[in-house]
Structure 1
Amino acid sequence: MIPYGRQDIREEDVQAVLDVLRSDFLTQGPVVTRFEEALSGAVNARHAVATNSATSALHVACLALGVGPGDTVWTSPNTFVASANCARYCGAEVDFVDIDPSTGNISVVALREKLDVARREGRIPKALIPVHYAGQPCDMTVIAELAEDYGFSVIEDASHAIGAAWGDEPVGSCRFSDITVFSFHPVKIVTTGEGGMAVTNDTELADRMSRLRSHGITRDPGLMDRDPDGSWYYQQVELGFNYRMTDLAAALGISQLSRLSMYVERRRQLAARYDRMLSGLPCAPLDRMPGVASAWHLYVIRLSDPARRREVFDHLKGEGVGVNVHYIPVHLQPYYGALGFSQGQFPAAESFYASALTLPLHPRLSDEEQSHVVDALRDALEE
């Protein structure tokens, strides 16, 4: 089976992890700090906070921004459930902004219209979580302008988008947001096995996220309610979590990060080849915004005849192609249905889902395997 996504583990990755296994630290030690420094340098951010997953990073990002009961967080319905769940963990309400079906990203037109209504009704969201779907950044210039105008915070969910850029700004520089979150799941562009990272240019946000990932504990006397008993002393100053990354995961991440540009370039080459080979078939790739560099986490096509999606999906599976679908709209999940969401509320996301297929795309995909994917897709569409 040709998987839709797959990690690329090389001997230098194995050696990096072995070096940690032979060291004094296995959990959160000096290698985590080195990974944070490497990642923040790669995306031009001042601070980076490593966590055990991107979901954890989203959660502590929301908490650091003060999201809680009585607040509402908006995000895209075209994403994995974690982009919405992180607000629910904080006791906040969730709402969605429909997408631009040509890109799969949040529609800034729909966002502006929804904000106008929210302002009149006195319910501006506490935060917006735009999702850089498939690796292509959302329109962050407009989102940043709206955030300043309406007074909400922005957390970029860049789980798909390490190595992407909005104009001259690498995703993660936080020029247009308060916090950006990355994922290092094995199907992502670089991996730590499981892992995530929150980056920010705000020292107070970084410090709070660091505490929250480690039980809310501090060794800073300035944050304590009494003088320390000694150098061993610490205090829990708020309710935190065990969201720490291990040195083992960080070592893998450092090694993988050294090949980030290589990975993104290979994905770009494969995407361009798909573009050429799929030309003339009754399907279309996502539109690409001018001046934006995608990280090409996913190669998503939209079928001209959505009624045939399941038939095409099953045919590809039968031909050994690990096709997938990204995503079932979050508001259609039973949990969110119980909160009052229903079919028809976000029609662009629902229509997008009905026609979407994700084709295999990863650095280890060979030209021969990619040709097989396209041949199998052509056969399915021509039957």
Structure 2
Amino acid sequence: MKFAPIPYGRQEITADDIEAVQAVLQSDFLTQGPVVEAFEQAISGYCRAGYGVATNSATSALHLACLALELGPGDWLWTSPITFVASANCGLYCGAKVDFVDINPQNYNLCPQALESKLKDAKQQGRLPKVVVAVHLAGHPCDMRAIHALSEQYGFRIIEDASHAVGAYVLNEPVGSGRFSDITVFSFHPVKIITTGEGGIALTNNPDWARRMRLLRSHGVTRDPDCMDQAPDGPWYYQQVDLGFNYRMTDFQAALGLSQLQRLDEFVSRRQELAKRYSRLLAHLPVTLPQFNPETRSACHLYIIRLQLDQILVSHRAVFEELRTQGIGVNLHYIPVHTQPYYRTMGFAPGDFPQAEKYYTEAMSLPLFPGMSDQQQDRVVTALQKALTL
């Protein structure tokens, strides 16, 4: 019997979602209308943050966050090598230099001990980072308390790249509250926890940073008389006061996000249930399972295993390809950024971040999404067991 393929991630769209989008499509405003602001307020309210600035992608939100923190030429941005390239590229967009901090081998996030060691060396060399981007890989929050303590000691700003982690909690506070960071960014890509199709948001408690991100989101153009260098000529008047971008979210995207947000806790709960079930079903296999910190609530965006290659007779690639052959949409998050050709031209080389590189040789993301059935998950487990014993 041939089964339908199981993707590694998938959006869940209901009739209510479709109705919410249709309502905007039949309204007067498809973009730059009231629904975007309503979505911003809803997300910031859920996360207990002061301000939200919605964008057309999380990449755009990361760029705006860096600009709000005045990252520029001569500055350094540090982040994890195990992330999507956008977490590092946002620094390059601003003309800054980028470096990486190796990962914790237990949770695969940026390692606070490695960060502290690198900060000590950087202080002696006069090249401390202006911004550290802490990536919550797979929806598992970083040790933000430790990273924040280091920021107070060494004077850097913190952006949480929480693209995987809307709905996650740290010490009973939602990721995005800003307790341990300056700006938090979420992604609403279709495979993420909730979706707007494409889209992102930057949350902050600083009104000046929020105001600057809003300005730069829309070409650096304003109609606010208080921001202009001369009195308006008339009600039609606007001024470009900075070099901005078109990073705006549409109202129909925001409407989808608002509708999805009502089911956020339900989505996270189902993801957690599936993750626990995976951990139970896979416990006897030669794989290293994810570890969950009791001080946090993971959003469980991904379920990443690591193959114990010394315990099996097949290669990492062979297991991956066999699962794909069986219709199991495994993936690999991520190729270490410093090994990408573009970053190698900056002087990065294999061996620079050994924990990240070892992770890459063993890691595999198994399918996980709220609409996944127990039967589909059983198929994944059976297929993995077969692939490990080829």
**Shared fold (TM-score, shorter chain, > 0.5):** yes
Helix, strand or coil at the partner of 2:129: coil
Q: Which residue of 2 aligns with 1:362?
A: 369
- Once the two structures are superposed, residues 200-222 of structure 1 have per-residue CA deviations (whole angstroms, 9 ceiling, x without a partner) of 00000000000011001112222
CA shift at 1:28, angstroms? Answer: 2.0
Shift of 1:290: 2.5
**Which residue type is aligned with residue 234 of structure 1?**
Y
**C-alpha distance in structure 1 between counterparts of 2:77 and 2:250, whole Å:** 30
What residue is the counterpart of 1:231 in the other structure? 235
> 1:70-117 CA distances to partner (integer Å, 9 max, x unpaired)?
111000000000000011011110000000011110000000000001
Shift of 1:169: 1.2
> Where do 1:321-332 residues align within 5 Å?
321-332=328-339
Corresponding residue to 1:203 among 186, 200, 207: 207
The CA distance in 2 between the partners of 1:74 and 1:53, in whole Å, is 21
Post-superposition offset of 1:232: 2.2
User: Which of 247, 250, 253 in structure 1 is aligned with 2:251?
Assistant: 247
Question: What is the TM-score with the length of structure 1 in the denominator?
Answer: 0.99
* Equivalent pair of 1:104/1:286 in contact (CA under 8 Å): no
Distance, in Å, in 2 between the alignment partners of 1:310 and 1:31 is 45
Q: Deviations over 1:261-281 (max 9, x none)?
A: 000000000000000000110
Q: Which residue of 2 aligns with 1:56?
A: 60
Write the deviation string for residues 253-300 of structure 1: whole angstroms up to 9, x where unpaired. Answer: 000011000000000000000000001100011222221110000000
Q: Choose which of 129, 140, 145 in structure 1 pairs with 2:133.
A: 129
- Check conservation: 1:75, 1:128, Cα contact below 8 A: yes
- Aligned-partner residue type, residue 112 of structure 2: V
Q: Distance in 1 between matches of 2:73 and 2:190?
A: 34
**Alignment of structure 1 residues 151-300 onto 2, 5 Å:** 151-300=155-304
1:130 is paired with a residue whose SS is: strand
After superposition, the C-alpha distances for 1:16-48 in whole angstroms (9 at most, x for unaligned) are 000001000001210000000100011000000
Moved >2 Å (runs of 4+): none
| Residues 222-269 of structure 1, C-alpha deviations (whole Å, 9 max, x = no match) | 221101112222111110000000001000000001100000000000
Q: Deviations over 1:135-189 (max 9, x none)?
A: 0100000111111110110000000000001111110001111100000000000
CA distance in 2, matches of 1:176, 1:253: 25
Pairing 1:79–2:71 present: no
Q: Tell me how many residue pairs correspond in the alignment.
A: 383
Q: Residue 51 of structure 2 corresponds to which residue in structure 1? A: 47
Partner of 1:139: 143
Q: Is the 8 A contact 1:68 1:92 kept in 2?
A: yes
The answer for the alignment partner of 1:382 in structure 2 is: 389
Between the aligned partners of 1:45 and 1:347, the Cα distance in structure 2 is 36
CA–CA distance in 1 between the matches of 2:138 and 2:59?
17
C-alpha contact (below 8 Å) 1:97/1:346 kept by paired residues: yes
Pick the aligned partner of 2:357 from 350, 353, 364: 350
Q: How far apart in 1 are the matches of 2:262 and 2:294? A: 27
Describe how 1:91-110 pairs up with structure 2 within 5 A. Answer: 91-110=95-114
Larger deviation: 299-308 or 263-272? 299-308
CA RMSD of aligned residues (A): 0.8
Instruction: Give the gaps of 5 or more residues in structure 1.
Output: none
Instruction: Work out whether residues 17 and 248 of structure 1, in 8 Å CA contact, stay in contact via their aligned partners in 2.
Output: yes
Taking every aligned residue pair, what percent have the same amino acid on both sides? Answer: 61
Task: Quote how far apart the aligned CAs of 1:9 are.
Answer: 0.5
Q: Which amino acid aligns with 1:276?
A: R
The match for 1:148 is 152
Secondary structure of the structure 1 residue equivalent to 2:365: strand
Alignment of 1:111 onto 2:118: no
Partner of 1:317: 324
SS in 2 for 1:180: strand
One-letter code aligned to 1:256: Q
| Structure 2 unmatched runs, 5+ | none
User: Which AA in structure 2 matches 1:280?
Assistant: H
Alpha-carbon separation, structure 2, partners of 1:288 and 1:118: 31
Residue 11 (1) aligns with residue 15 (2): yes
TM normalised by structure 2 equals: 0.97
Find the aligned partners of 2:185 and 2:24 in 1 and give their Cα distance: 25
